[in-house]
Structure 1
């Protein structure tokens, strides 16, 4: 089968990770060709460019993209992934209009849409009006390098870990505020990936926790497993996600997780994480206190997390993705 693939998403991002894992496990009967374009990923003309690419590759049997930009039109079946609908909530008005008036209309023409959680599927149906019969849920996986046996990051103090960016949906200010209020031993640190930025740095100083917060800068993926293993717990109390990969990465490493009751996070956690209201600073702080002081609860969450993380593998993700791409039973 000849599959035309939008390979522009091959990068050090969550979508790039999915792309690489799926491509690394392509069935032997797949003959891939790739979109040839230097157009930026967020370019509004991407649907038109992809339509032209499909027309140029006249021997392709199906088009696949690991992310949300579909072609404007296509003579062959189209399969693509919509990870979340963050553009409708946390981006500009123009992003929202583009998603509603362009992406939603084009998505309805696709032969199959993949999404990464039942929550995201529900949003696609309810907010974009996409026929649920077009949507298949395929969970993300977790790399074997995150499993519990491996190097451990050495720190001179216990630390909570946050892995992610600083977008509003990540709820980082609430986590930092809760950390400042939590009745946890004062030697506990708050480690977060990425460099210090103005807004976060000001908040940290206002909260009086400048000596307890450490910005780790860019952390290469190969160093993340040890960082998770060294943490006392991982904090991922987001307002909204499509999936929440740090939850299963941390669980696989044997580190308990404090996460949110919002979006798909309880679905992904599967009862193996401590879930709190992301809008309630007191609840977030109490969650930190439990993880820092209740050794029995900490141990229970560690064991439950290991079991839960074992259910998420990239081999399964790739196999299910290729099943959807190559499915002959199309609309």
Structure 2
């Protein structure tokens, strides 16, 4: 049985889906993990608070040193065991070997550089160039991400697709549902996901305004943590009647939003997997998603689709979603529910066990 060291530095600054996937791998396969590293520190628990900030600053300093060949950087990390990198960026500070393994969530900094800072683009270009050169086993969260890698870097020596598991919101105690968020009234369409340019919410808000749904009493609710481009989304939301923009919400409130929405909307420009779409389907919502790419891979052909750059098309599909009959929703839900049977915790755990053993 192979024992692995795990590189989980992303946990120092990231609490999105990447973090949840990493935590699930650590919890499911503790018997196969010797040590977990956060930068150069091996620790049993995920650093938090001041400790995490200090380690994160040191990590960023080393990354900056390695980005400039004129500067002296410390020797690359060698842990003495095969390393599972839970994000590609950490291969830039390790002595990567063919025996290592790298989890790739998306190719965004390579395929959509305009959505990221120049520093992030440079970091991931160096990371993927190293992966292409050394050839570790590479795990992708979707076929779309693997295809995007191959389009840029060519064939992979060893690769697998392991879909992440759906994280079902808890929903709160039976008989004690949470109060609706302030300003949210039914019926409404729902978008869940980080608020920013990557998710294209400013365009969907403009499409909602053009659809006339507000005048027909249908609201539009968005929630999620903030990322680059969130200012434009906030301005569009504030200027558009019928739109409610929430921050990150609790699992109980999220479950209420899913269970009371009339439909789900995520016409994003870039996704690694699109967990909110799978969660929405699991809560019996019909989604409107980006045409092509990973969201169609997740939802299957029963979802409504629109081109992320076509606001008029998004508006038409939002109107169609809001007006969809109960019979049409039931027909689509049957196919959608079948599509997400691929994303169970059991399948996720068993697939990772196979590649790690």
In the aligned structure 2, how far is the partner of 1:229 from the partner of 1:241? Answer: 24
| More RCO (CA 8 Å, sep 6+) | 1
| Contact 1:232/1:292 (<8 A) preserved | yes
1:16 positional shift: 0.7
- Match among 314, 334, 348 for residue 284 of structure 1: 314
In the aligned structure 1, how far is the partner of 2:154 from the partner of 2:61? Answer: 21
In the aligned structure 1, how far is the partner of 2:98 from the partner of 2:267? Answer: 41
Deviation string 1:144-169 (CA, Å, 9 cap, x unpaired) is 4479xx86875532111111123322
User: Is structure 2 residue 24 aligned with structure 1 residue 21?
Assistant: yes
User: Is structure 2 residue 221 aligned with structure 1 residue 204?
Assistant: no
**Structure 1 unaligned spans of 5+:** 327-331
User: Is structure 2 residue 333 aligned with structure 1 residue 302?
Assistant: yes
- Match among 77, 80, 83 for residue 102 of structure 2: 80
Q: TM-score, normalised by structure 2?
A: 0.78
User: Is structure 2 residue 215 aligned with structure 1 residue 215?
Assistant: no
Change (3 A) 1:237 1:76: closer
Change (3 A) 1:161 1:245: same
Describe the SS at the equivalent of 2:198: helix
User: Is structure 2 residue 85 aligned with structure 1 residue 65?
Assistant: yes
Match of 1:224 in 2: 254
Deviation string 1:184-217 (CA, Å, 9 cap, x unpaired) is 36321111114796433332354xx23x111222
User: Is structure 2 residue 193 aligned with structure 1 residue 169?
Assistant: no
Describe the SS at the equivalent of 2:56: coil
| Contact 1:115/1:136 (<8 A) preserved | yes
Write out aligned runs for 1:87-106 (5 A). 87-88=109-110, 89=112, 90-100=115-125, 102-106=126-130
Describe the SS at the equivalent of 1:170: coil
- Match among 240, 243, 251 for residue 270 of structure 2: 240
Change (3 A) 1:297 1:277: farther
1:272 positional shift: 2.8
Match of 1:8 in 2: 9
Match of 1:126 in 2: 151
In the aligned structure 1, how far is the partner of 2:222 from the partner of 2:307? Answer: 21
Describe the SS at the equivalent of 2:234: helix
Which segment drifts farther, 271-280 or 214-223?
214-223
1:121 positional shift: 0.6
Q: TM-score, normalised by structure 1?
A: 0.84
1:135 positional shift: 2.1
CA RMSD of aligned residues (A): 2.9
Which segment drifts farther, 74-83 or 172-181?
74-83
| Contact 1:255/1:302 (<8 A) preserved | yes
Change (3 A) 1:201 1:104: closer
Describe the SS at the equivalent of 2:206: helix
